[in-house]
Amino acid sequence: MTNTLLTHTTVLLNEAVSELLEASAGVQGSYVDATFGRGGHSRLILSKLASQGRLQAFDKDLEAIAEAERIMDERFSIRHEGFSHLGDLRPGSVDGVLMDLGISSPQIDSPERGFSFRFDGPLDMRMDTTRGESVAEWLATATVDQITEVIRDYGEERFAVQIAKALVARRQERGPISTTSDLAQLVADTVKTREPGQNPATRTFQAFRIFINAELEELEQALEASIHVLAPGGRLVVISFHSLEDRIVKQFMAKHSKEVVDRRVPFAEPVKMRLKTCGRIRPSADEVKANPRSRSAIMRMAERTEVPA
């Protein structure tokens, strides 16, 4: 029986796939779903690909891998790796890369994953539970300065210092925080003001999740790799859900969509542009009404130019 709490509505589904398949190779091309999740984008891509088309997906989450293995299609394959491994693919071998960033609804709504302050569960937050340390393990030894930096930089939380001090004080008095409910309560007790309608722990939970999974670093690596694996005329489509991600994507596309002149070498040929930006799309009012989690989404598109990497 399907648990309705653990279903996932793919954001900008039709728009993302339509933009991806605008690549010069069209439905006959080779594509990458760099963040498989629960497979909404992948299934729609496969439904449109010609018989010679190919789709390769990446994901760190074991539950996502299990879902991908249900797809019985010889044109499809899945890799249990983060999308920073895009660089493992052959240069110029891909006609389109789709990145749907952030976290899926099943991950948020699974208490045992520890992503949400709405459910009591272990304070884990790892996308790949087979590797690395959990948030609880990190908090058991992190200093006030380290915790402050993470909450400030990845959560853009103005009360970062106070929260960090409270976490360390709690650890010294009663032992480290180990559950989501304990963390949410500690933050609520520490943060006295917050934007209307926002849980006081929202920014702290976001910060710890981004940090423990090195999400921004992996995004930067994946974007750089996409330049090399995309064939001329190939499409890069990226959906982000918060300003930190979108800023990285926007700056990356802007950087590579113009010629760069090295002023230290005035007679050298300028570095040619490698991408042509293709605009951005936000969810429609109807989509936001049907799926409130889509309200912050921004999709940016770019096309690989004819200049070789």
User: How many C-beta neighbours within 10 Å does residue 185 have?
Assistant: 15
Q: Do you know the residue count of the chain? A: 309
Q: Looking at the chain, which residues constitute the CATH 3.40.50.150 domain(s)?
A: 4-105+215-304
Helix (H) or strand (E) holding 225: helix 215-229
pLDDT tens, 10-55? Answer: 999 999 999 999 999 999 999 999 999 999 999 999 999 999 999 9
How far apart CA 100 and CA 42 sit, in angstroms, is 11
52 in Cβ contact with 83 (< 8 Å): no
* Burial track 285-295 (b if 16+ CB lie within 10 A, e otherwise): eebbeebebbe
User: How many C-beta neighbours within 10 Å does residue 4 have?
Assistant: 7
The whole-number pLDDT of residue 4 equals 34
Q: Which of 237, 241, 186, 236 is nearest to 209 (CA)?
A: 241
Q: Which of 67, 6, 20 is nearest to 40 (CA)?
A: 67
Q: What is the pTM of this model?
A: 0.90
**Architecture of the domain whose range is 129-212:** Orthogonal Bundle (1.10)
pLDDT tens, 260-295? Answer: 655 666 655 655 789 999 999 999 999 999 998 899
With bands split at pLDDT 50, 70 and 90, how would you rate the model's confidence at 105? confident
User: How many C-beta neighbours within 10 Å does residue 217 have?
Assistant: 13
Across 136-156, average pLDDT: 97
The whole-number pLDDT of residue 114 equals 87
pLDDT tens, 202-255? Answer: 999 999 999 999 999 999 999 999 999 999 999 999 999 999 999 999 999 999
Rounded to the nearest angstrom, the gap between the alpha carbon of residue 177 and the centroid of all alpha carbons in its chain is 26
**What CATH class is the domain 4-105+215-304?**
alpha beta
DSSP one-letter string for 141-204: T--HHHHHHHHHHHH--TTHHHHHHHHHHHHHHH----BHHHHHHHHHHH-----TT--TTHHH
11 in Cβ contact with 294 (< 8 Å): yes
Q: Looking at the chain, which residues constitute the CATH 1.10.150.170 domain(s)?
A: 129-212
**What is the CB-side half-sphere exposure of residue 112 using CA atoms within 13 A?**
3
Backbone angles phi, psi at 301, to 5 degrees: -125, 145
Tell the residue number behind the tokens 């884990």, with chain if given. 124
